[in-house]
Structure 1
């Protein structure tokens, strides 16, 4: 309504401008201006006639002076200038024809002014000569008694010829006057009259010369076109005046018609304003409702937001007179409706799940450019849509009119807010659609707040679980360090005992079993370190299919025959950057755990594929960001787990098995390996419905080369080099000395770093290599290395450590060796092969 009034206002404004223009154009020519113009034209004709009269009088010698001529010329000039200023009779500038005629009139007046100036000078000479001739002829005639008869006759002939010449200045008359003047100039005159006679002849000749010129000027003045041009100007002016009067009458008629149209428009506008006032009251009530809805969500508890959304939908739809209102939100995977809020008027059927899916797809993917407004889609008549999937889908849902407000942020839509009519069609104004879009933003903020609170609670829960796992991992790492020292003694002594016992003796078998138990204990320590992410990282390109195939072969050989193993590989090119042995351990642990969950009978499905996430997705044990991932999944048909079990399943030493049935480190080790690879775990399970374990690791897009274990090499021996051995555990010092001696070296052992430094200071050149424990009281291995190298910088220094993590920062062995000024780091428990390889590598180029 407001839009229609807004479109009418420019039309009324334009109509007012037209009325103003017509009012100006409808004005009649000014009567006073008209009379003044005609008066000036008549004055011009009178001044021209007076000029002609005065010129003739001056020619006849009847004017005493030339002032009347000057006044007439000035009057003509002033009148012409006044006519230029007056303009045309219709107002504004004069027409082209009138301007041209005024210019021609001004030229004629200017020409007359020039002729008058010439006439005044020539006529003055002529009149002076004529008066002198009359005077001289009269004087000579009175003195005729003193002249001879010939002179008297010549004077008479001259007077007669001059009289005829002044009356008719023709060539013949001029010749007679000239002949009379010639005769007179030859006659003798008495000395007293000779001067007058000569002057008479001179003035006569002047008259003969000036009279034709003066008469010619008079003729040109009398023939001047000034009067004719003035009358022509008058005719043009009267014609223009008539047209102006006729044009003014026409514009007055148009002005009347425009006024009638304006009155009609104002009446229509007044009616629309009354209608709009009523609509505005309804709009204000609707806006107040939206304000109340927005205010209601401000302090609404999170657990009541869903109820508040549904109540707001009901109030909103009832206030707008709609049949149905609903909010459809898509799930995290972007396919299907995850949750919805809806309201339907009494007697109106609710939307079916299939309609929910269709309308959600419509709001997210349909493009109806002819029905888009304010970023929303409004279809006032579904039946009027062209044939297509949109029309078919809406009609199948029983919708007559449909309005869709997309929900979400730019570039990320999470669902839609929909309104429809099922009984009749309804067209909504743009302002109403804008208000509905505002409501959609209110709902999005409320839903985002609810989602944020829920996600925050989940993140807090995962953080507490991660902190708990980190604490257990730190404790496990400390225990593993001390346990490695014990294992070092057990494995070292059993290794040396086996080397001295007969291979087929009962004692050899007993010691071999003891060594096997020690190695199993070492494996448990490795699992603890893996869980705590304290092992060294060996990262390389790993093709997942061969690794899964190899793990499947191992599992088929180890799992009971009553367990079926199904392998499903959807992407044979799947690859990650990681440790193939650790990843294989993940597969084995998951499948073993699944077999235990089924009590030795059932189906274990091992799957490998790749998935791509457009947005971040929250999983049960972490959040996976946007990108492409390799998904490794293991499904079983076991008894399943409840939520509490799922939350604790990756904690070390937690197990649901009976006492003695498991250590609780298998899945904890998996958690450590996956976290170390930057992956995320997801567990889906319900009691009695089996379990699904999923691992998501970033896909490696570029291929690499997977390295395998090196071939065994012969055990190298020494050539009597002296090794300074330092360890705070005295049994380990004794064990180390025996192992070094067995390898062909001369060991010198100390259980204190300070004692070892004192011995080294006494004779630095005695020793070829220093082998020291990393963590010792009083003086640590790195501190000893600094003191040793201050005395002898070139001597090799090797650290021994029962913890693969240096100083808690997770650096690798090379970084730790450089930080401690050492050339290498050996991990406990030590074996003869590790020591032999290390010593051979650092002493091979040194002389005995």
Structure 2
């Protein structure tokens, strides 16, 4: 009995030792893996926040970021990652030191970011104010010089550029105008702020943490290896302690072999992750899709799968990467699987493992049965890019523990590469926009000056033609000629408005457009020039689809490209114009620019002319670049800027001797109702009431004649006089008309307003002795609007249009 009791006690002790041994083995196996995953996630979050900080500060510097929430989020994410790494480092001194150095870098970046935010806020405010003041003082040569110097200073903060800006600002110092005084104050602030802000940006960009990040990654791997080594030693010690019992020894030997196989498979997973990461390291955007396909092939082989796919979600929902052993897996199938699995109850954390016939009654299982698939493995991730990684197998199932750890690490490497590619694309797009903006701002400054002077001439022509039409009576021939003059003036005004909007950087008015009707009208206009034959066809343009844009600008794009096509065919020119509709499921790159996924209208213009040399194609849309004798080099550059402003791009395909094809891509939208057209009021006539005219000598006589033709008595004075208010009282004028006289209104307005915000300002005095009240009018001066504004002086009731 005693021996039986001892045997039972030995059996119990052996069983307890076996339970403790296997429990310790399981615990050691999971501890190391969990630590490595947490540490790698923390360092990847820190690296992403570090890169995002540089990008967001650059965006804030150029005015694209309206607040600093993104910068604060980047800094908070970096701090959170550092805190996590400090906790994970424990008593590992080399790792703690490396993390501490990263923390020092982060604190330095935080200090520079705080200084940047305060300085940049002042900078953006002063920059906006200087730009507005220069636009308001565009008639002043000194203000024009200051505008040009500060434009250069925003792009180049070298000592030479600072000295040039200070010299230009010195020419304005001591000016009498309140606006010029404001310009001097804000200009001095800009000269002080711009170099400091750019120096902060340079310091943040140059303080690279890539080397320290790589050191932390290496130390994490070494720490993990030490953890595994320690666990292995402890496990072997436990194994030696239980070697006295024969039965336990056999069980422990089997467990040791199982652990050895699992370590071997874990090393295979680590090698797989390293291989995938090396495939996607330093790869261009053009090669990324192919490299991801190669990575999916390696992951499928590791998982024993015949098909593998990656489905992006979130902002890039529907974008897929597919690898199939037989090449018959469609891109639509992974999207359907992702949609069916989204709310499936089979998810265990971020893993879904379905092996038929289990789950055959679910929608996902029914889909797999219809395709003949016996097993499905899905891994989902939310950072750095939301995505779903899927594997389908037709052979026997492999246990999930053999593959999931390595697949998770490889998935993170692929998603990180996609995130890096997205950031690089955004950076290149930003640099391209900045370069083009710098070139076009110089052109716009010149165009604005010319258009402003031309505006005065157009106003005089329009005013005299309308007055002459009033006095023409029933002479049909004269009225028809005057009507043609007015129509030409209206077209010239539209052109001047376009030039001014371009020069000042204002957006043109966009509205829903029936693109097919606009293209057909353009084709008729081009055909009417008699330069060649134009054939138009709408292949697959859906009814009710429109584009949001400016009809005048888009028509200019189509006509510029058609005219270039005619010039490329000196013999019997004929051009084919086609309107089509395209749906892009993923971002796409073109010869010039790229587009995100979406619905697009595509206007194709094809000629069979001499073609374009390969060396000239990258520079087609540069301002002033031309390959034609006598060309200005502004036609295609203007077309490019218009299409870019509409959210589209232009794809060019051409070869010498084989003609050229221009595909103009524009975002498509739903149809909208056009805005109602307002009718203008009829002109009114005065009865000799006095009007004081304050205008420069160049246009003073034209304004006097216009006021007289409307039935009022004009009295003219120079805007530079200091007694303008006394002149109004002396002339008995109850109205003062200010035309291109900035700063003159403060003689009449009690609150001291300058009145220079409008090109034309009418001041009305309701009764003798009362103060003047401002009545803004649009520039150039419209006789109909002026007559309606002056009509209350006659004492007659106001007529409604």
- Taking structure 1 as the reference length, the TM-score comes to 0.49
Q: 1:439 aligns with which of 403, 410, 413?
A: 410
Distance 1:14 1:771, change over 3 A: farther
- 1:66-119 Cα offsets, whole Å, 9 max, x none, are xxxxxxxxxxxxxxxxxxxxxxxxxxxxxxxxxxxxxxxxxxxxxxxxxxxxxx
Question: Could you tell me how far apart the structure 1 residues matched to 2:619 and 2:469 are?
Answer: 43
* Mapped partners of 1:489, 1:441: distance in 2: 69
* Contact residue 547 and residue 666 of structure 2 kept, 8 A: no
Residue 106 of structure 2 corresponds to none
Distance of aligned partners of 1:356 and 1:826 in 2 relative to their CA distance in 1, 3 Å threshold? closer
1:718 correspondence with 2:676: no
Residue of structure 2 aligned with 1:790, choices 745, 750, 762? 750
Residue 703 (structure 2) aligned to one of 727, 732, 736: 736
The answer as to 2:420 corresponding to 1:452 is no
777, 791, 796: which one aligns with 1:840: 791
**What secondary structure sits across from 2:338 in the alignment?**
helix
> Are positions 1:272 and 2:254 aligned together?
yes
Deviation at 1:293, TM superposition (A): 4.9
| Counterpart position of 2:677 | 708
User: Within 2, Cα distance between the matches of 1:401 and 1:739?
Assistant: 87
Alpha-carbon spacing, 1:464–1:801, altered in 2? closer, same or farther (3 Å): same
Q: Look up the match of 1:825.
A: 777
1:570 paired with 2:547, answer: no
Alpha carbons 1:799, 1:824 under 8 Å: kept: no
Displacement of 1:528 in angstroms is 1.4
Offset from partner CA, 1:590-614 (integer Å, 9 cap, x none): 44345435536344234689x899x
Distance in 2, Cα, partners of 1:543 & 1:518 = 26
Match of 2:433 in 1: 462
Structure-2 change in CA distance of 1:374 and 1:436 (3 Å): farther
- 1:390 matched to 2:349? The reply is no
Structure 1 residue 270: Cα displacement: 1.9
Once residues 666 and 744 of structure 1 are traced to their aligned partners in structure 2, the CA distance between those partners, rounded to angstroms, is 49
Matched, 1:430 2:401: yes
Query: Is 2:647 the partner of 1:680?
Result: yes
Given the superposition, is the C-alpha separation of residues 792 and 846 from structure 1 closer, same or farther in structure 2, using an over 3 Å criterion? farther
Residue 725 of structure 1 aligns to a residue whose secondary structure is strand
Task: Give the Å deviation of 1:744.
Answer: 1.0
Residues 438-587 of structure 1 mapped to structure 2, 5 A cutoff:
438-489=409-460, 522-532=493-503, 544-545=513-514, 549=517, 552=520, 555-556=523-524, 559-560=527-528, 562-567=533-538, 570-572=542-544, 583-587=550-554
Equivalent position of 1:604 in the other structure: 577
- How many angstroms apart in 2 are the aligned matches of 1:833 and 1:734? 19
Distance 1:514 1:12 in 2: 108
SS at match of 2:748: helix
8 Å CA contact 1:287–1:435 kept in 2: the answer is: yes
Give unmatched runs, 5+ long, in structure 1: 1-8, 18-262, 343-349, 577-581, 804-819
Alpha-carbon deviation of 1:735?
Answer: 0.8
* 2:604 alignment partner, SS class: strand
User: Structure 1's 573 and 681: CA in aligned 2 closer, same or farther, altered over 3 A?
Assistant: closer
Q: Which residue of 1 aligns with 2:161?
A: none
Q: Which moved more, 1:665-674 or 1:633-642?
A: 665-674
Is the partner of 2:676 in helix, strand or coil? coil
Distance in structure 2 (CA, Å) of the matches to 1:624 and 1:10: 70
Are positions 1:668 and 2:638 aligned together?
Answer: yes
Cα distance in 1 for residues equivalent to 2:686 and 2:752: 22
Cα separation, partners in 2 of 1:13 and 1:636, compared to 1, 3 Å: farther
In the alignment, which of 666, 671, 679 is matched to residue 695 of structure 1?
666
Offset, 1:445: 0.6
Deviation at 1:570? 2.4
C-alpha spacing 1:773/1:556, structure 2 compared with 1 (3 Å): same
Shift of 1:273: 1.4
Residue 716 of structure 2 corresponds to 749
Residues 357-368 of structure 1: pairs in structure 2 closer than 5 A? 357=331, 360-361=334-335, 364-365=338-339, 367=341
Q: How much has 1:673 moved relative to structure 2?
A: 9.3
CA distance in 2, matches of 1:477, 1:842: 36
Give the Å deviation of 1:456: 1.6
Distance between the aligned counterparts of 2:258 and 2:779, measured in 1?
A: 87
1:588 to 555, 562, 582: 555
Q: CA deviation at 1:835?
A: 3.1
1:798 positional shift? 10
Check conservation: 2:518, 2:555, Cα contact below 8 A.
Answer: no
Change (3 A) 1:271 1:585: same
Q: What does the per-residue CA deviation read over 1:612-642, in whole Å, with 9 as the maximum and x for residues that have no partner? A: 99x999999989899x98x554233346989
Cα distance, 1:680 vs structure 2? 1.4
1:282 aligns with 2:264: yes
Offset of 1:441 from its aligned partner? 0.9
| Cα shift at 1:659 | 3.5
Aligned to 2:606: 637
The 2-side partners of 1:305 and 1:563 are apart by: 41
Q: Is the 8 A contact 2:354 2:376 kept in 1?
A: yes
C-alpha distance in structure 2 between counterparts of 1:727 and 1:648, whole Å: 46
Q: Is 2:773 aligned against 1:773?
A: no
Gaps of 5+ in 2: 1-11, 21-244, 567-572, 762-771
In 1, the alpha carbon distance for the partners of 2:755 and 2:345 equals 80
State the Cα distance separating 1:827 from its structure 2 match. 0.9
Tell me how far apart the structure 1 counterparts of residues 628 and 574 of structure 2 sit (CA, whole Å): 16
Deviation string 1:490-523 (CA, Å, 9 cap, x unpaired) is: 5556777888899999999999999887766545
CA distance in 2, matches of 1:669, 1:714: 39
Contact kept, 8 Å, 1:485 with 1:802, in 2: the verdict is: no
State the shift of 1:282 in Å: 0.6
> Quick one: structure 1 residues 790 and 536, their matched pair in 2 at CA, closer, same or farther if it must change by over 3 Å?
farther
Q: 1:360 & 1:270 partners in 2: Cα distance?
A: 44
Q: CA offset at residue 697 of structure 1?
A: 7.0
| TM-score with structure 2 setting the length | 0.52
2:592–2:652 contact (8 Å) kept in structure 1: no
The answer to whether the Cα contact below 8 Å between 1:374 and 1:434 also exists between their aligned partners in 2 is no
Distance, in Å, in 2 between the alignment partners of 1:321 and 1:454 is: 32
Q: CA deviation digits over 1:114-141, x for unaligned, max 9?
A: xxxxxxxxxxxxxxxxxxxxxxxxxxxx
Q: Deviations over 1:424-471 (max 9, x none)?
A: 635133353133112211221123213322332123212322343344
Residue aligning to 1:117: none
Q: Deviations over 1:127-174 (max 9, x none)?
A: xxxxxxxxxxxxxxxxxxxxxxxxxxxxxxxxxxxxxxxxxxxxxxxx
Q: Is the 8 A contact 1:654 1:664 kept in 2?
A: yes
Match of 1:375 in 2: 350
Kindly name which structure, 1 or 2, has the bigger radius of gyration based on alpha carbons: 1
User: Counterpart of 1:432 in 2: which secondary structure?
Assistant: helix
Secondary structure, aligned partner of 2:428: helix
